[in-house]
Amino acid sequence: MSRLLVLVMVMSAPALAQEEDGGVPVEAPVVETPAPKEPLFDKVVDVTGYGMSRTQFTRARTWGLLPTNDIPQLQQFVEFNTQLKVSVRPHSYFSSDVSVVANWGGFYRGVDGTGHEVALADKTSPQVQPVININELFISHEFIPELNVLIGKKRIVWGPGMAFNPTDLLNPRRDPTDPTFQRSGAWLAQVEAPLSFATFSVVFAPTVLKQTAGIPTHFLGYPAWDQKDTQLHYQLAARAYALVFDTDINVMFLFGNKSVDDFEAKPRVGLSFSHVFGALEVHGEALFQTGSTRDYLNGACVQNVMAALQCSIAKTAYASKTHLNDTELRPKILVGGRYQFGDDSMLSLEYLYQHDGWNKDHFQDFANGLGLITEARSLGVDVANFPGASALFGGTSQDGLPVRFAFDPRGRHYAFLTYQKPRIFDDFTAQAVVIANLRDLSTTLTPSITWSATEWLNLSVLAFVPLQGPDALAVKTPQGLAVSEFGVTPFAFRAMFEARAFF
Amino acid sequence: MKTTLLLSLVSSFAFAAEPTAADIVAKYDSIMGPGTYEAQTEMTATREDGTSRTYGMKFLKRDTDKFRVWFSEPASVKGQEILRLGDNAWVYLPNLKRATRIANRDSFQGGDFNNADVLRVNYATDYDAVIAPSASPDQLTVELKAKSTETSYDKIRLVVRKSDLQPLKGEYFGTSGQMIRSATFSEHKEFDKGFVRPARIVMQNEVVKARKSEMVTKSFKLNVEAPPQRFMQADLGK
């Protein structure tokens, strides 16, 4: 009897196994589990990219406090971008992301000696130069799964901030009105060890000091024929990342010498976290450093024309980095959250604190300086290089690519609010971005609508409107004009139409 | 010894004849989300106006909770990636060159699948299941109730083929009790040796009837090489 039972059992076993397709299985499907299949190496060449045309009209604020002579009211950008990825051998690949940008600009406006608006002759300004931009160009090799090396130009961002990344000391700054678009990186070498419990990265980024047509020619030190200094310019960054209690944690150590700013041998520490609570993502990102490379106006020199003349005679600087070598801790901290609604719309709110940002007294010095500019302009003096004015012009990022808005926050407290609603109709996506200086409540409002007309074509219209904020919170020039950070932007509004075709 | 063998045999046949709800859910998980696999799929999302968008993508899965997606089509999303690690998910956007955390409830590429429908097929962990009456003698039905509020659906009614427990239909309910999605599983075929699963899943949006998304599996390979480093945030974009 027992033999019969054993025989039945033995016979029934394969029968049960075969019932995968025709009968009721006993347990999980019986699937042979051989050793993992090592994929054969297939050389993969992957090409993609886009063509972009942007037509932009900027209304120069000729009646404002800043000169508008270098702002083309009408601009046309054409960008052709190609991204190439080639697997050159097993575990190695080459990647490039290169843009060629052609610009045209014209219809300049300024004021004459009597303060009346006049048309200016077209000119070759920095904002209308053609640019070849290498966004990324690198080769990566994985020696073992736990160790890979990358050399070339690459955008590496560790912090979770959406509109602004205080810990990012490597890359060109992102345009906060366009938080979904920034592709340019930094020249660097990275060694990364992704281990089961944490990922460790070390990056060495030599500073590009000379370049020709977008191609870097001198890293680290200045050439002998133009030796501005004899120092080495670089940024060294180390990062440890771990997922702890479902929270992304980054701890960063940065050490730079005359790299992205004027600090010499400057150590800094960065921290960040990101966690999701249901549909809400919460994040924080902080950079801790002593001292500051920020320019502060010399209040005594900008009080009035006489004071300015005395400073000029005494060769006293109008602006200087007065906190460059001090030992006070001056953190930059960003905290924020992003909520995803049931209809896929998204609301993001972030707050940025900069300890070294200008306070009301510093902005008052700025307003006094603008008052001097106003007087100087009426006397026909070229004030385009007035310290601090250039940051308000916008137009190009630090790598030369045209951006919608060059954001260089100089105050202490900012809020970034973004609301995006996809599919408001068909494939139309609406978005509004508000950036506010929380001291003077001056803001920039950036509404946009994007239509994904086809799977390969996006059409966008966008406006950019700086708003003054309440007069009560603004500082005043000696002439009594209210000045707020975004209120003095040298254009009244900017509108653009963009077509982007992907291939 | 005799008794043991007899009991074993009897229980095996009894089990084979009438699988429990847990057996059905385990089988569903093993079909729709087996341990380690690589798949090439195409998802077509049809919208209210009748127009559609088609996305090509590659899936790589390891263990029960590690999932990776690479998008290859259309050109506007090429290079986009998704990583799921346990309850955590990130999307890598090539235009931004960085990874961003996403919630489980986000729709998958704006279609009618949720990220969790695609990235997390682990009903045995997420839901309690009971057998429900079936409309056909050739089918079995289980009702799944969410164990927590973190899941995409509050309740799921899953219909499988009685003969092999292959999924045929799914109905997905929100916390209000309203059916918000329904799925049809069809074109069952053998993708790998002894491994059968539906090649086509149509997810119907029951709230906006004109909307639906169709996921077609082009290839499906089990037990591929899937090193743990492919499932780390640092690997996104590489």
* Number of other residues whose CB lies within 10 A of the CB of residue A360: 14
Which residues in chain A touch residue B9, judged by CB atoms under 8 angstroms apart? 5, 8-9, 12
The whole-number pLDDT of residue A52 equals: 93
Q: Does B176 touch chain A (CB under 8 A)?
A: no
Which residues in chain B touch residue A274, judged by CB atoms under 8 angstroms apart? 101
> What SS3 state is found at A368?
helix
The whole-number pLDDT of residue A399 equals: 47
The whole-number pLDDT of residue B204 equals: 94
Does residue B12 sit within a domain?
Answer: no
User: From start to end of B11-110, where are the E strands?
Assistant: 37-46, 52-62, 66-73, 81-85, 88-93, 98-102
Which residues in chain B touch residue A458, judged by CB atoms under 8 angstroms apart? 76
Q: If you average pLDDT over each of A115-119, A204-208, B61-65, which comes out highest?
A: A204-208
Which residues in chain B touch residue A30, judged by CB atoms under 8 angstroms apart? 194
Q: If you average pLDDT over each of A186-195, B71-80, B147-156, which comes out highest?
A: A186-195
Per-residue pLDDT at B12 exceeds 70: no
The whole-number pLDDT of residue A68 equals: 84
* Number of other residues whose CB lies within 10 A of the CB of residue A493: 15
Do A502 and B105 make contact, defined as CB atoms within 8 angstroms? Answer: no
Give pairs for A218-222: CB < 8 Å, separation 24+: A219/A187
Half-sphere exposure of residue A75, counting CA atoms within 13 Å on the CB side? 32
Backbone dihedral angles phi then psi of residue B6, each to the nearest 5 degrees: -65, -45
Beta-carbon contacts of B85 under 8 Å, excluding residues fewer than 6 positions away, are A243, B65, B66, B67, B231, B232, B233
Whose CA is closest to A369, among A435, A281, A307, A457? A307
User: From start to end of A185-321, where are the E strands?
Assistant: 186-194, 199-206, 208-212, 215-219, 234-244, 247-257, 266-277, 280-288, 296-297, 319-320
pLDDT in tens, B37-49: 999 999 998 888 7
Nearest CA in chain B to A8: B9
Nearest CA in chain B to A171: B97
Helix (H) or strand (E) holding B237: none
What are the distances in angstroms from CA A246 to CA A160, A193, B66, B88?
15, 20, 14, 7
Assign B201 a pLDDT band (cuts: 50, 70, 90). very high
Q: Token digits for B43? A: 């998802």
Does residue B4 sit within a domain?
Answer: no
Helix (H) or strand (E) holding A7: helix A2-22
Does residue B141 sit within a domain?
Answer: yes
Q: Which of A31, A37, A48 lies nearest to residue B225, judging by beta carbons?
A: A37
Q: Do A490 and A61 form a contact (C-beta atoms < 8 A)?
A: yes
Range of weakest confidence among A82-86, A224-228, B110-114: B110-114
Does residue B97 sit within a domain?
Answer: yes
What is this structure's pTM? 0.83
The whole-number pLDDT of residue A42 equals: 66
The whole-number pLDDT of residue A422 equals: 87
Q: Token digits for A201? A: 């990265």
Nearest CA in chain B to A423: B110
Per-residue pLDDT at A383 exceeds 50: yes
The number of folded domains in chain B is: 1
Per-residue pLDDT at B155 exceeds 90: yes
Q: Does B110 touch chain A (CB under 8 A)?
A: yes
- Angle between helix axes A2-22 and B2-17 (nearest 10 degrees) is 20
Question: Average pLDDT, whole number, for chain A?
Answer: 83
Q: Determine the residue type at A286.
A: A
How far is Cα B43 from Cα B107, in angstroms, rounded to an integer? Answer: 13
Per-residue pLDDT at A28 exceeds 70: no
What are the distances in angstroms from CA A275 to CA A160, A167, B89?
10, 18, 10
Q: What is the ipTM of this complex?
A: 0.79
Does residue B13 sit within a domain?
Answer: no
Longest CA pairwise span in chain A (Å) = 119
Q: Determine the residue type at B226.
A: A
Q: How distant is the Cα of A53 from the closest Cα of chain B, in angstroms?
A: 16
User: From start to end of A121-198, where are the E strands?
Assistant: 131-144, 147-154, 186-194
Beta-carbon contacts of A27 under 8 Å, excluding residues fewer than 6 positions away, are B23, B26
Residue written as token pair 């969790």: B116
pLDDT in tens, A235-249: 999 999 999 999 999
Per-residue pLDDT at A286 exceeds 50: yes
Per-residue pLDDT at A3 exceeds 50: no
Average pLDDT estimate for A85-89: 89
At B148, which CATH number?
A: 2.50.20.10
Range of weakest confidence among A51-60, A282-291, A298-307, B182-191: A298-307
Assign A352 a pLDDT band (cuts: 50, 70, 90). very high
The whole-number pLDDT of residue B7 equals: 43
First to last CA, chain B: 58
pLDDT in tens, A136-195: 999 999 999 999 999 999 999 999 998 899 999 998 877 666 545 677 899 999 999 999
Q: Does B208 touch chain A (CB under 8 A)?
A: no
What is the extent of the structural domain holding B226?
Answer: 19-235
pLDDT in tens, A386-440: 544 444 333 444 444 445 556 778 899 999 999 999 888 878 999 999 999 999 9
Q: Is the dihedral of CA A325, A327, A328, A332 positive or negative?
A: positive
Q: Do A463 and A430 form a contact (C-beta atoms < 8 A)?
A: no
Do B223 and A34 make contact, defined as CB atoms within 8 angstroms? Answer: yes
Whose CA is closest to A275, among A252, A250, A249, A251? A249
pLDDT in tens, A30-85: 444 455 555 555 678 889 999 999 999 999 988 888 778 888 899 898 999 999 99
Per-residue pLDDT at B16 exceeds 80: no
The whole-number pLDDT of residue A126 equals: 60
Whose CA is closest to A87, among A41, A119, A54, A123? A41
Nearest CA in chain B to A274: B101
Do A185 and B97 make contact, defined as CB atoms within 8 angstroms? Answer: yes
Which residues in chain A touch residue B1, judged by CB atoms under 8 angstroms apart? 2
Tell me how far the alpha carbon of residue A227 is from its chain's centroid: 30
- Residue A10 burial (C-beta neighbours within 10 Å; 0-12, 13-18, 19+): exposed
Whose CA is closest to B104, among B54, B78, B65, B157? B65
Show the domains of chain A with their CATH numbers.
45-502 (2.40.160.10)
Does residue B7 sit within a domain?
Answer: no
Do B194 and A196 make contact, defined as CB atoms within 8 angstroms? Answer: no
Which of A194 and A25 is assigned the larger pLDDT?
A194
The dihedral over CA atoms of A394, A397, A401, A404, expressed in degrees to the nearest 10, equals: -40
> What SS3 state is found at A194?
strand
Per-residue pLDDT at B185 exceeds 90: yes
Do B110 and A503 make contact, defined as CB atoms within 8 angstroms? Answer: no
Which residues in chain A touch residue B17, judged by CB atoms under 8 angstroms apart? 24
Which residues in chain B touch residue A48, judged by CB atoms under 8 angstroms apart? 75, 78-79
Whose CA is closest to B233, among B37, B101, B119, B71? B101
Q: Which of A23, A148, A278 lies nearest to residue B164, judging by beta carbons?
A: A23
Which residues in chain A touch residue B27, judged by CB atoms under 8 angstroms apart? 25, 28-29
Nearest CA in chain B to A280: B103
What is the DSSP code (8-state) at residue A415? E
Percent of chain A at pLDDT > 70 equals 83
Residue written as token pair 């992957």: A46
How far is Cα A451 from Cα A449, in angstroms, rounded to an integer? Answer: 7
The whole-number pLDDT of residue A24 equals: 38
Q: Which of A181, A278, A426 lies nearest to residue B150, judging by beta carbons?
A: A278
Do A24 and B51 make contact, defined as CB atoms within 8 angstroms? Answer: no
Which of B17 and A404 is assigned the larger pLDDT?
B17
Does residue B8 sit within a domain?
Answer: no
Q: Token digits for B139? A: 């089918």
Does residue B23 sit within a domain?
Answer: yes
The whole-number pLDDT of residue A190 equals: 97
Whose CA is closest to B114, among B154, B159, B164? B154
